[in-house]
Amino acid sequence: MQCVLLPSEAGSVAPSTVRPELPSRRCPSVGSKGGSRDVLSLVPWALLGGCGCARLSLQRSSRRGSSGVLQARQAEIFQVPIDGDEVSDPARISSKIAVAELEGKGCGVVATSAISRGEVVLKESPLLGLPDSFQSASDVEALLNATSLQQLDEDLNSALTSCSQANQDRFWELSDCHGEHKTAAGIALTNALQLGKGGGLLAMSARFNHSCKPNVQGGWDKSQGGGMAVWHALRDISAGEELCFSYVDPYETDAERQSTLQRLFKFQCRCPVCMLQGEAKMASNQNRQQLRDLKEALELSAVVADDTAEMARELVPQMVELLDVELEGSPALKSKAWGTGS
């Protein structure tokens, strides 16, 4: 897709490098044995407070050696998540968005015309998915060592040979923030997404950059063949605006968010929230800390309180008000809050 030059306020995208040549063959049919399978359950980079969409780490499985490195075999790690023949173009892109070159940031997604709140801006099937054998883990550095990265890179390169040349090209166009030279492992660690209970490596979705006050939100629709990411606008978006979602826990303070983004994605966020100064920055941090406190109180009440519904009636309206102020009234976070307190 042709990129145009537009100004930007936010993060960074690693430059492209020359990819290795990979053989091409058609993707095999998935699901021909064993019936329907959910092969796209992924592990997030961090515990994200139930926001429903997050960058993720391809973390270690529960079967580990003493070194804690990845022990799963290639055949059970990466699968082509398409029921039947591979689609030639896995993305259904709204005519109202386009990939653009953003000054100081690399490529991102911008609105080419006005978008209404709740409007679908993108539907996309993953190029590659992961199976349920990957379990949640808090140690996201598990794969960021030489042994694990080498094995992951070999596994991914092997899996990519089962993809069409067009989808291999889409994969290698993605950025890699984990090394000077682009690798399959670095691309996966930089771009893989978790959306609710699904996700994978999605070429167009990976073009959404980060903002601590996102204006789009992704979800996973399992009814669409092998599964599909669906992105909605959280608010009205004007022509020329960039479309972003949050890579990190939305309830963290600015210092916590910056630390996480620098450690895992190698950039400093310069979104409007992070650029707040003085009392405005203090108020934002207080709002997010209060959201985190309310969330934790709700989770605790669900375990120990005699009347969880009564606690929810007291706490959730406070969360809803703060979410409207800080996070564009995120439907996913509001739903999570009411669900925890129900």
Which tens digit of pLDDT belongs to each residue from 171-189? Answer: 998 888 877 889 988 888 8
**pLDDT attached to residue 282:** 97
**pLDDT attached to residue 276:** 97
- CA–CA distance, 213 with 328 (Å, rounded to integer): 7
pLDDT at 160 over 70: yes
Mean pLDDT score of the chain: 72
Task: Give me the amino acid identity at 184.
Answer: A
- CA–CA distance, 268 with 260 (Å, rounded to integer): 10
- CA–CA distance, 295 with 291 (Å, rounded to integer): 6
Mean pLDDT, residues 218-222: 84
Mean pLDDT, residues 320-329: 94
- CA–CA distance, 14 with 134 (Å, rounded to integer): 27
Q: How far is CA 130 from CA 196, 285, 295, in A?
A: 14, 35, 30
Query: Which pair of structure tokens corresponds to residue 210?
Result: 């980060």
Domains, the chain, ranges and CATH? 5-252 (2.170.270.10), 278-340 (no CATH)
Mean pLDDT, residues 104-114: 92
Question: In this structure, what are the phi and psi dihedrals at residue 151, rounded to the nearest 5 degrees?
Answer: -65, -45
| Structure confidence at residue 149 as a pLDDT band (50, 70, 90) | confident
pTM: 0.69
Query: Which pair of structure tokens corresponds to residue 319?
Result: 């969360």
Give residue-wise pLDDT tens across range 40-95. Answer: 222 222 222 233 344 443 332 332 232 222 222 232 334 444 333 344 456 788 99
Nearest to 11 by CA among 186, 214, 226: 214
Query: Which pair of structure tokens corresponds to residue 222?
Result: 């399992």
Query: Which pair of structure tokens corresponds to residue 49?
Result: 């407070």
Nearest to 107 by CA among 15, 216, 212, 223: 15
- CA–CA distance, 20 with 313 (Å, rounded to integer): 56
Q: How far is CA 188 from CA 3, 156, 175, 282, in A?
A: 23, 8, 9, 35
Nearest to 204 by CA among 90, 116, 114: 90
Query: Which pair of structure tokens corresponds to residue 157?
Result: 């390169």
Three-state secondary-structure class, residue 120: strand
**pLDDT attached to residue 279:** 97
Three-state secondary-structure class, residue 34: coil
- CA–CA distance, 109 with 38 (Å, rounded to integer): 29
Three-state secondary-structure class, residue 312: helix
End-to-end CA distance of the chain: 46
